[in-house]
Structure 1
């Protein structure tokens, strides 16, 4: 998988910041990080009362935006995993077409 940028915006007043924090902690765990050194994780803590979110930017320009108020950390991890698996399968299919 190519480079992935995960940007978590934690906003304190909404009550859902804990979900985003759990998600970011799981993603940035050493065992996960060691499997993809191209993954960049940044956080932005805001106190403006707006909705917390996780914004994932893939190397191909595709984005996955997950709103912490509507999802659990497990649902976010599952969504990210599904998107990554789909991208890997697509890359493998392209590779097979180029090198039959």
Structure 2
């Protein structure tokens, strides 16, 4: 019985870490896109509309990844303090959790 429990806990922790990694990757992609479009150089995009559309899409992806962390076992990983070395991610998820818990 205890082996099943430990296996379940390990599986949930792995799922939580995967959701957190997806969030970190989406934040890195968003930051990279912002850096590429803010420099005064020839942009690979034909118009500002393209930049705005891609930026909105990246914002939606980040929001989806935050929701994945909040709705899954990733929140438990953060609440256990396993991400002490990444305070930005913890602060972002905690702010989203507070906003979700108190929508008013």
What TM-score does the superposition give when structure 2 sets the normalisation length?
Answer: 0.33
What TM-score does the superposition give when structure 1 sets the normalisation length?
Answer: 0.34
**Structure number having the greater helix percentage:** 2
